[in-house]
Amino acid sequence: MCASYRFLCVCRRFAELPACVASLPALQNLSVAANDLTNLPDTLGALTALTKLDVRDNSLGALPDCVASLERLQILSVQNNKLTALPEGLGLLPALRELGASSNKLRTLPHDVSGWARLKKLIADHNELEEWDADLTGLAVLTELDLSFNKLRALPPSLETLPALCVVRLGHNRLAELPPLDCVPCLAELSAPSNALTALPPLPPSLETLD
């Protein structure tokens, strides 16, 4: 296999990632979606040029810690697996722009997200999230946050400090209140049905859709 490959798609119902993948140091885009993978090898950390990793639609119970060492990673797609947690170091990835983690069994998200200065989309709906007490103040370019269909009883209070946030989906949780959002200048969509809310917080004049 050519070591200079930059894109590789593996989609033949593999139960294990082929060992030869680790010998592709120039690889930038790796898709192993829709296989039968139950784990990923630590050798994945050798792919230091990787900017996009797609492992959707497998049976992964965990991600190796080495994923958090992929400092060039911009897009991580782990939807529809069996993940109960993400590597804590994932919150320190400086280039990450999109994290898709829908339809897993996640109970929490990384607590230290100080590396997510470039993150624009965080999609973690349909999990088992019960809490997330991260400090979000560094997520200055986050535009879309989807935490719907979880078990959240509270949100990070720093949610109200996000200047670029446009879309917030929080429906089908156990929230009794929302933080004030009137200081989120770009907020255009807020969805929070099927919670325990008895009142709405202050909202910004930019809001276009409220559910």
Q: What is the pLDDT of residues 175-197, one digit of tens each?
A: 999 999 999 999 999 999 999 99
Q: Is the pLDDT of residue 129 over 90?
A: yes
| pTM of the predicted model as reported, rounded to 2 decimal places | 0.94
Average pLDDT over residues 36-54: 94
Other beta carbons within 10 angstroms of residue 90's beta carbon come to 25
Q: How much of the chain is in helix, strand and coil states, percent to nearest 5?
A: 10, 15, 75
Q: What's the pLDDT tens digit per position in 52-89?
A: 999 999 999 999 999 999 999 999 999 999 999 999 99
Q: How confident is the model at residue 2, as a pLDDT?
A: 47
Give yes or no for a contact between 184 and 160, defined as CB atoms under 8 angstroms apart: yes
Q: How confident is the model at residue 18, as a pLDDT?
A: 82
Q: Is the pLDDT of residue 4 over 90?
A: no
The whole-angstrom distance between residue 7's C-alpha and the CA centroid of its chain comes to 22
Q: How confident is the model at residue 23, as a pLDDT?
A: 84
Q: Is the pLDDT of residue 11 over 90?
A: no
Gyration radius of the chain over CA positions: 18
Q: How confident is the model at residue 21, as a pLDDT?
A: 85
18: phi then psi, degrees, rounded to nearest 5: -55, 135
**Confidence at 12, pLDDT banded by 50, 70, 90:** low
Work out the percent of the chain whose per-residue pLDDT is above 70: 95
Q: What's the pLDDT tens digit per position in 132-157?
A: 999 999 999 999 999 999 999 999 98
Kindly state the helix (H) or strand (E) to which residue 64 belongs, with its residue range. Answer: none
Q: How confident is the model at residue 124, as a pLDDT?
A: 98
Best CA proximity match to 202, nearest among 186, 175, 181? 181
Q: Is the pLDDT of residue 28 over 60?
A: yes
**Confidence at 6, pLDDT banded by 50, 70, 90:** low
Name 77's bridge partners. 54, 100
C-alpha torsion angle, residues 183, 188, 189, 190 (rounded to 10): 20
Pairing state between β 52-54 and 29-31:
parallel
Q: Is the pLDDT of residue 47 over 50?
A: yes
Q: Dig out the tokens for 94 from the structure.
A: 């400086």
Work out the percent of the chain whose per-residue pLDDT is above 90: 86
According to DSSP, residue 88 is labeled G
134 vs 27, 50, 195, CA distance in Å? 32, 26, 21
Q: Dig out the tokens for 124 from the structure.
A: 């973690």
Average pLDDT over residues 120-126: 98
